[in-house]
Amino acid sequence: MLKARIIPCLDVKDGRVVKGVNFVNLRDAGDPVEIAKAYDKAGADELCFLDITATHENRSIIFDVVSRTAEACFMPLTVGGGVRTTDDIRKLLLAGADKVSINTAAVKNRGFVREGAEKFGSQCIVVAIDAKEVAPGKWEIFTHGGRNPTGIDAISFAEEVVSLGAGELLVTSMDRDGTGKGFDIALMRAIADSVPVPVIASGGVGTLDHLVEGVRDGHATAVLAASIFHFGTFTISQAKNHMAERGIPMRLA
């Protein structure tokens, strides 16, 4: 039976993890490769790096981080942040990423999703959708960390990018991100029920019940979280056991 996935996400800037982690004693709590190894050992189902490097000259550091991670971790790795051209995708895949996550570039140019899927296969094209509720039951796509509205309806955007070849959607509620109040379940469910591909729920996890809700009520097949794992509030296995006890099929150690 296919299991629901737990995906820790690391924000990486200039090759370093922003804020670091403290869930385990690491020699270097800011080294994404060390952290990736620790999550691999802890039983994470996949790993996600979000590269938030701002300066152009440091953009290539992520390729080395990905390459060193792929040497040490035999688990799926998704890398997002600043993926704008098929050359960016190619370089990340060659470095050892399994999937790339496309955000702003997909909003600006839907054709880029098709181009990526045709060149590299849908299985490696994740479209990251950042949405805010603008009216009850209506969500709009925002870019630049939730600052820029686009006027694009999140559900129809989701359907469109899937029809163009996206193999998976990473849906983040910008209303909930960083609040610890739980996923925007209505948003997750509205998107998951409209597309045939897997949806990763993101934004707002504060408790283990939130993870359960993302899968059970939000119909996501994977849940992404950052701070609850990085800061050691919960371990991956606590999260998995909690979800399994509530009837969600999990890959337990």
Partner 1 sequence: MSDVAIIDYGSGNLHSAAKAFERAVRDGGSSATILVTSDPDRVRKAERIVLPGVGAFRDCHDGLKAVPGMWETLEGEVARGKPFFGICVGMQLMAERGLEHVETKGFGWIKGDVKVIEPSDSALKIPHMGWNTLDAVRPHALFDGITLGAQGLHAYFVHSYHLAPGDGEQLIATADYGGAVTAFVGRDNIAGSQFHPEKSQALGLALIANFLKWRP
Site residues, partner 1 (CB under 8 A): 1-5, 40, 45, 67, 70-71, 74-76, 93-98, 120-124, 167-168, 196-199, 219, 221-222, 251
Determine phi and psi for 116, rounding to 5 degrees: -65, -45
- 87 counts as catalytic: no
Token match 């119909």: residue? 219
Candidate list 11, 40, 153, 209, residue with the active-site label = 11
Instruction: In whole angstroms, give the CA distance from residue 125 to residue 14.
Output: 24
CB of 124 to partner 1, least distance (A): 7
Judging by DSSP bridges, how do beta strands 16-17 and 222-225 pair with one another? unpaired
Which of 41, 1, 6, 42 is closest to 212 using CA atoms? 6
**Residue among 142 and 229 whose Cβ is closer to partner 1:** 229
- 11 counts as catalytic: yes
**Residue among 21 and 97 whose Cβ is closer to partner 1:** 97
**Residue among 12 and 199 whose Cβ is closer to partner 1:** 199
CB of 150 to partner 1, least distance (A): 26
Structure tokens at 40: 């691999």
First to last CA, the chain: 15
Q: Is 244 exposed, middle or buried (0-12, 13-18, 19+ CB in 10 A)?
A: middle
Candidate list 31, 45, 51, 130, residue with the active-site label = 130
CB of 10 to partner 1, least distance (A): 18
CB of 122 to partner 1, least distance (A): 7
**Residue among 4 and 208 whose Cβ is closer to partner 1:** 4
Structure tokens at 209: 């019940």
Active-site positions read 11, 130
